[in-house]
Amino acid sequence: MRRSLQKKICAPRNTASEFVLDIALYGKHILFVMQHSPGFLKVVEEVRPRIREVTLEEARQRLEANAKAVLIDVREDNEWAAGHAVQAIHLGRGIFERDIERAIPDPDTECILYCGGGYRSALVADVAQRMGYKNMASLIGGYKALTAAGWPMTT
C-alpha cells in the first residue's frame, strides 16, 4: 500500500543550479546538481524576480482547483518523447513563442510551465509574460521533481 508523499522544494543551496527535494515520508534528502554555464544561470537569475515560481504542491492545488489551468512541458522533443506528465501539453522552448497564441489563445489562462529542472521554464514564463500572458508560473524543480514525487507520467 502506497502512502501519499509530502513534497517540499527548497530554495537554491550553494549555487543557483542546486536544489533539494525533501521527501518527508522517508526523511530523505535528494540533491540534484545540474551543471549549467554561468551565463545561462545569470539570465535565469535575472528573470526570477519578474516571474512566479510554484512548488509541486502549489501546482497540484492549482491544477485541481482550476479545470482550465494548463500544464505545459517546454522541454525539447526528445525529452518529451522519453516521458512527460500525463496531463501536460508540449510546447518546446524552441517553438513556444511561435505557437503559444494558437495553443493557448486566452492570455488569462493559468499555465504552469515545466522543463527538466525549472530553469528553462523560468525563461519561458518571462517571455510569455512579455507577450501579454498574465497567469504564467514556472514549476520549481521541473520534470526531475515531478518524477521524484511520483507524478503520473507517460511516454
Catalytic residue numbers read: 115
Neighbour tally for 139: CB within 10 Å: 29
- Written as nine digits, the cell of 27 is 526523511
57-76 burial, b for 16+ CB within 10 Å, e for fewer? Answer: ebbeebbeeeeebbbbbbbb
Q: Is the dihedral of CA 146, 61, 97, 125 positive or negative?
A: negative
Q: In whole angstroms, what is the distance from residue 86 CA to residue 106 CA?
A: 22
